[in-house]
Amino acid sequence: MKKFIFAFSIFTHLVGSHWLDDYIASIPDFPKPGIQFKCYPDLLKNPPAFKRLIREFADRYRDSDLDCIVGLDSRGFIFGAALAYEMELPFVMIRKAGKLPRKVERIDYQLEYGTATFEIEVESLNRDDRVLIMDDLLATGGTAQAAAELVERVGGQVVEVACLIELAGLGGREKLKRPFYAPISIEVDE
């Protein structure tokens, strides 16, 4: 039987230290018992810290010759749109099923229970556009992997996938099989 992120999330510890650590909260037993939900409301409520984070991402990608930033529904929109604004790049959404009105490419992917569907508008990218994909957190990698495949199906090249947080030890990077970066890595202890 497939093991899922939330089943692994009972205990976690930070790998190394980072100025962002103080802004990451772990909420036990949300949305269900045994889950350690990672959230960061204090980061979003602190303009200098939020700005610093976005500027650090921008510094990382300044010389990457990006054409576009793709944000994942829904928390990837927070960081992706802010970074696109900072870098003066186009921003494109990958949304959950049924939200995009024009012609879409779609992909089903695995969630904790059952599957979900992501969609991207087929004309949202130009052929060979160099794309950065942004979400808030990488766990088992299914979400990011599905997004990368969608970007490639509509003609984009995935330069990197970036998140605020990586839950390490869940095989997310291996599943993704594309370059990945997160400033914060949190080891998940079984």
Summarize as ranges the residues that interact with ligand AMP (CB under 6 A): 5, 9, 36-38, 75, 135-144, 172
Q: List Cβ neighbours of 96 (8 Å cut-off, separation of 6 or more).
A: 73, 74, 116, 117, 118, 119
At closest approach, how far in Å is the CB of 104 from ligand AMP? Answer: 19
Residue among 153, 131, 133, 155 nearest 144 (CA): 133
Residue whose structure tokens are 């990451």: 24
- Least distance from ligand AMP to the Cβ atom of residue 66, Å: 21
149 catalytic residue (yes or no): no
Q: Are the beta carbons of 76 and 63 closer than 8 angstroms?
A: no
- Indicate the residue among 111 and 155 with the shorter CB distance to ligand AMP: 111
CB 88 to ligand AMP: min, Å: 26
Cα 156-157-159 angle, rounded to 5 deg: 135
Cβ of residue 74: shortest distance to ligand AMP, in angstroms? 8
28/62 with CB nearer ligand AMP: 28
Q: Which residues pair with 11 in a beta bridge?
A: 189
Active site residue 75: yes
The amino acid that residue 82 corresponds to is A
Question: Which of 75, 130, 153, 173 is labelled catalytic?
Answer: 75
Per annotation, catalytic residue among 52, 60, 106, 112 = 112
Q: Nearest 5°: phi and psi at 40?
A: -150, 45
Nearer to ligand AMP, 65 or 118 (CB): 118
Give the residue numbers marked as catalytic.
75, 112
